[in-house]
Amino acid sequence: METPLRFSVSSADVHLGLSLLAGSAQFFIEAKLRNNDEHRFDNIEQLAGRYFLSEEQTMQNNKTTLLIGLGNPILGDDGIGWRVVEEAEAILGKRPELEREQHPVDVIYLSLGGLSLMEHMEGYQDVVVVDSIIVKDKPNGTIYSLPLSSLPDFSSGHSTAIHDTSLASALTVGRKMQMELPEDIWVVAVSAEYVFDFSEELSPPVAAALPGAVDVLIDVLDKDTREEKII
């Protein structure tokens, strides 16, 4: 006895009807909220930006690769993502064939996960994330180049996220809301272990992997030469 949701956002009236199945009890709820002031829901999108970007911005993002250095730069080996992207940025600046006109790349550095990370990807069709990865079957400093869909998403079935969801779940949430999000995300990751101690230094095996990871990343920025590999 599922009743379809009705939720109309008008200037002064939010009307909601939903049915919920809770435990074994099935019940229907009608929630009605009246605003005393008018027009609030009308202009939220102009005020904060829609969760759909403007057409112009979307077109711009569509043809641009978003490169994200991910991790915490002061948490030891978790800083590898930022370091690889910093080095790659320096090299990209010197390579005329990768000039922004022909191959625009937006670069950002983030210490985020889940929903917040997903929100940064809005409008981009091509996203490359560089991060550390914790694995148990390879030595520290192993370089991974692979699509996010090749990584296990352990939390998609669970609600135990401590304060957010996994990126894969967040992307599903965003897509469900018709946000423009990349089909898949390419990941360049370096396996690391020392990500619980505050330090700006990389451990020796991870530091040794830096040049190799930068090379992998430069290749990955050209979509045609992308291939899944572990080095």
Partner 1 sequence: MERITIDPITRLEGHGKIEIFLDDDGNVANTYFQIPELRGFERFCVGRPVEDLPILTNRICGVCPEAHHMAGAKAADAVYNVEIPRTAKMLRELLYSAFYVTDHTTHFYALGGPDFVMGPDAPVAERNILGVIHKVGMEIAGQVIQARKAGHTVIEIIGGRKVHPCTSIPGGQTRGINEEERSQIEELGRWAIDFAQFSLKLFGDIVLGNQGYVDLILGDAFTVPMHYIGMVDENNKVNFYDGKISVVDPEGKRLGYYGPDDYTDWITERVEPWSYLKFPYLKKVGWNGLVGGKDSGVYSATPLSRLNASDGMATPGAQEHYEKMYETLGGKPVHQQLATHWARLIELLYAAERMVELATDPEITSDNFHTVPTETPSEGVGIVEAPRGTLTHHYWTDERGVVTKVNLIVGTTNNNAPISMSVKKAAQAFITAGTVVTEGLLNRVEMAFRSYDPCFGCATHSLPGQMPLEVKITDADGDTVEVLRQFC
Write out the binding residues for partner 1, residues 98-127 only, by CB under 8 A. 110-116, 119
- The verdict on 62 binding partner 1 (CB under 8 A) reads no
Kindly state the tokens that stand for 194.
Answer: 């020392």
Kindly state the tokens that stand for 110.
Answer: 């983030």
Position among 96, 160, 224, 227 found at the interface with partner 1 (CB under 8 A): 160
Residues 116 and 129: their CA atoms lie apart, in Å, by 14
- The verdict on 43 binding partner 1 (CB under 8 A) reads yes
CB atoms within 10 A of CB 137: 6
- The verdict on 51 binding partner 1 (CB under 8 A) reads yes
Contact yes or no for 190/80 (Cβ under 8 A) = yes
Angle between helices 204-221 and 80-92 (to 10 degrees): 50
Residues 154 and 177: their CA atoms lie apart, in Å, by 22
Q: What's the min distance (Å) between Cβ of 143 and partner 1? A: 13
For 54, residues 6+ apart whose C-beta sits below 8 A from its C-beta are none
Residues 118 and 180: their CA atoms lie apart, in Å, by 11
Q: What's the min distance (Å) between Cβ of 114 and partner 1? A: 7
Position among 5, 55, 97, 227 found at the interface with partner 1 (CB under 8 A): 5
Q: What's the min distance (Å) between Cβ of 95 and partner 1? A: 28
Please report, as residue ranges, which positions from 180 to 219 form the binding site for partner 1 (by CB under 8 A).
Answer: 187, 189, 192-193, 195-199
For 175, residues 6+ apart whose C-beta sits below 8 A from its C-beta are 181
- The verdict on 66 binding partner 1 (CB under 8 A) reads no
Residue 85, exposed/middle/buried by CB under 10 A (0-12, 13-18, 19+)? buried
Q: Single out the segment in contact with partner 1 by CB under 8 A; choices: 25-33, 90-98, 99-107, 219-227.
A: 25-33
Q: What's the min distance (Å) between Cβ of 209 and partner 1? A: 14
Q: Single out the segment in contact with partner 1 by CB under 8 A; choices: 23-31, 85-93, 96-104, 203-211.
A: 23-31
Q: What's the min distance (Å) between Cβ of 24 and partner 1? A: 8
- The verdict on 161 binding partner 1 (CB under 8 A) reads yes
- Total residues in contact with partner 1, by rule CB under 8 A: 83
Kindly state the tokens that stand for 101.
Answer: 């006109």
- The verdict on 167 binding partner 1 (CB under 8 A) reads yes
- Could you tell me the strand order of the sheet in which 25-34 lies? 6-9, 13-22, 25-34
- The verdict on 56 binding partner 1 (CB under 8 A) reads no
**Which string of x and - marks every residue 127-156 that binds partner 1 (by CB under 8 A)?**
----xxxxxx--------------xxxxxx
Return the amino acid letter for 96: P
